[in-house]
């Protein structure tokens, strides 16, 4: 089992560009999350999903969008990238008892 | 103010020492998650607990829900334990976790 996979691992964007961060899981977990981790800060929740077709905003959703058409995939879309979105992005899945399993992360730089 | 506070922020220990990392929270939570983040960045789940104590190898996690406090202990620490340890509380309502900023542990041979 691959667990939770994220692509790409690294990306550099210019201000105003858009991109999609991919997240795929083969654990059949209903819960999926997108977090960002800034230096010296705790993980912040961007969006989450409790199942296919259901998504909801987290603590810092501005500038991002998500969709969840299947149990396996939970892509995160950045529109009009800004320097403030430079961060490390983690996708995670969650079990029914809320234990979370994290992907390897995507390091994004916006210049 | 963060809903979840960890202490200490940084910790250096000699190999073999007993280590304690503390996590306190200001909101009511139903469960607490301890995570380990390796120097390469990957995040691994260590424990999920809502009461009492759990043990896995040299790691022990305890929680007192009423006192809003949890501890992570590492016995016979080893340099491979060097990592950032993160606690996260799941509130009684809602689907979000509140994350601490992490404790950076370095174990010196």
Q: Are strands B4-7 and B52-56 parallel, antiparallel or unpaired?
A: unpaired
Neighbours of B57 (CB within 10 A): 8
Q: What is the pLDDT of residue A97?
A: 80
Chain A interface disruption, residue of B47, B97, B103, B104, most A CBs within 10 A: B97
DSSP string, B3-61: SEEEE-SEEEEETT--EEEEEEESS-EEEEEEEEE-TTS-EEEEEEESSEEEEETTEEE
Q: Which of residues 13-42 of B touch A (CB under 8 A)?
A: 31, 33, 35, 41-42
Chain B interface disruption, residue of A9, A29, A98, A105, most B CBs within 10 A: A98
Q: What is the pLDDT of residue A31?
A: 94
B76: its two tokens: 């016979």
Mean pLDDT of the region A75-103: 93
In DSSP terms, B36 is beta-bridged to B44, B85
Output the CA angle A42-A47-A53, nearest 5 degrees: 155
Q: What is the pLDDT of residue B1?
A: 60
What is the mean pLDDT of each successive set of 10 residues along chain B, which is 109 residues long? 88 97 91 91 91 96 92 97 95 84 96
Instruction: Please tell me what DSSP assigns to residue B65.
Output: T
The residue among B52, B38, B32, B40 whose CA lies nearest residue B100 is B32
Q: What is the pLDDT of residue A3?
A: 93
Q: How far is CA B11 from CA A32, B7, B46, B56, B101, in A?
A: 32, 9, 19, 21, 14
């Amino acid at each position: 089992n691959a667990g939770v996979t994220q692509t790409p691992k690294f990306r550099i964007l210019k201000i105003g560009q858009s991109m999609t961060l991919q997240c795929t899981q083969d654990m059949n977990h209903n819960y999926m999350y997108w977090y960002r981790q800034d230096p010296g800060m705790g993980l912040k929740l961007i969006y989450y999903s409790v199942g296919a077709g259901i998504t909801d905003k987290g603590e810092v959703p501005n500038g991002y969008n998500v969709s969840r058409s299947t149990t396996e995939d939970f892509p995160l879309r950045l529109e009009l990238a800004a320097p403030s979105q430079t961060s490390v992005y983690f996708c995670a899945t969650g079990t029914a008892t809320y234990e979370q399993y994290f992907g390897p992360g995507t390091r994004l730089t916006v210049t | 103010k963060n809903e979840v506070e960890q202490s200490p922020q940084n910790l250096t220990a000699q190999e073999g020492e007993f280590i304690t990392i503390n996590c306190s929270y200001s909101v009511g939570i139903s469960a607490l998650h301890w995570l380990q983040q390796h120097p390469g960045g990957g995040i691994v789940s260590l424990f999920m607990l809502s009461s009492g104590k759990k043990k896995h190898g040299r790691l022990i996690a305890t929680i007192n829900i009423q006192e809003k406090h949890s501890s992570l202990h590492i016995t016979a620490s080893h340099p491979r334990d060097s990592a950032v340890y993160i606690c996260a509380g799941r509130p009684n309502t809602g689907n979000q976790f509140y994350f601490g900023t992490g404790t950076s542990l370095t174990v010196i041979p």
